[in-house]
């Protein structure tokens, strides 16, 4: 992949930009593997249908059936996920998202998420690992629980999870509440300032870096707060 393509232009299809936030999320933080996610979610919801003593062949056939049913039943995720039998609560909705990332959680591909990740990683000592996970693309976490992405911090030696912070990103000026730990408001009139692609003359590096620092500090504070809750 060329270096120009690796920038993953934020302003791609600017004329089709959706101020409700859908395109904003995709361009800023990317999306997970939605096909794999459906398989994972359906299997998690119906795993009890596979007997513990099932033969490898029987287990394999059942999983294949799950995959086929998942793609059909979750075709309309918004409707399907709201159905009680397909509901996954917040606590259990993060794990399948983590397993269905399209990219490397320690090397985000989008320009915005990579800059945010690098800013935050620079604040932690070498004994910690930071990981970024996008929930965008049809996950329970995104659709039901209104979380677009989250960061997790791990002990580098033991791989033990230390803390996390969930984030909701929006282009709606009026949106001032969220279920996530942090709400990042991206002014629709300033979207071009975040776009570093060569054809965009509106990119503002100073503005971009200031916003990354502002957002990064908010997320870091949420991670510290969530960690402190575990100590009580």
Query: What's the pLDDT tens digit per position in 149-186?
Result: 999 999 998 999 999 999 999 887 655 667 899 999 99
- The pTM for the full model equals 0.84
The pLDDT of residue 176 is: 62
Contact 201, 194 (CB under 8 A): no
Phi-psi region of 19 (alpha: psi -120 to 50; beta: other; left: phi over 0): alpha
* Residue 44, SS3 per DSSP: helix
Average pLDDT over residues 132-158: 94
């Amino acid at each position: 992949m060329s270096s120009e393509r690796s920038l993953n232009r934020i302003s791609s299809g600017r004329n089709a930009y959706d101020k409700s936030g859908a395109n904003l999320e995709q361009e800023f933080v990317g999306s997970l593997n939605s096909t794999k996610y459906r398989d994972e979610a359906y299997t998690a919801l119906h795993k009890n249908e596979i007997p513990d003593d099932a033969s490898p062949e029987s287990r394999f056939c059942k999983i294949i059936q799950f995959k086929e049913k998942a793609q059909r039943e979750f075709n309309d995720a918004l409707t399907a996920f709201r159905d009680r039998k397909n509901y996954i609560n917040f606590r259990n909705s993060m794990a399948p998202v983590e397993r269905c990332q399209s990219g490397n959680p320690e090397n985000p591909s989008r320009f915005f998420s990579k800059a945010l990740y690098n800013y935050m990683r620079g604040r932690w000592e070498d004994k910690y690992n930071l990981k970024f996970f996008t929930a965008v693309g049809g996950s329970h976490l995104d659709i039901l629980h209104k979380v677009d992405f989250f960061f997790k911090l791990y002990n580098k030696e033991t791989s033990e999870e230390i803390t996390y912070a969930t984030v909701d990103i929006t282009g709606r000026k009026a949106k001032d509440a969220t279920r996530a730990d942090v709400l990042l408001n991206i002014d629709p009139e300033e979207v071009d300032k975040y776009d570093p692609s060569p054809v965009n003359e509106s990119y503002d590096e100073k503005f971009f870096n200031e916003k990354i620092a502002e957002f990064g500090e908010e997320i870091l504070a949420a991670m510290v707060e969530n960690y402190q809750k575990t100590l009580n």
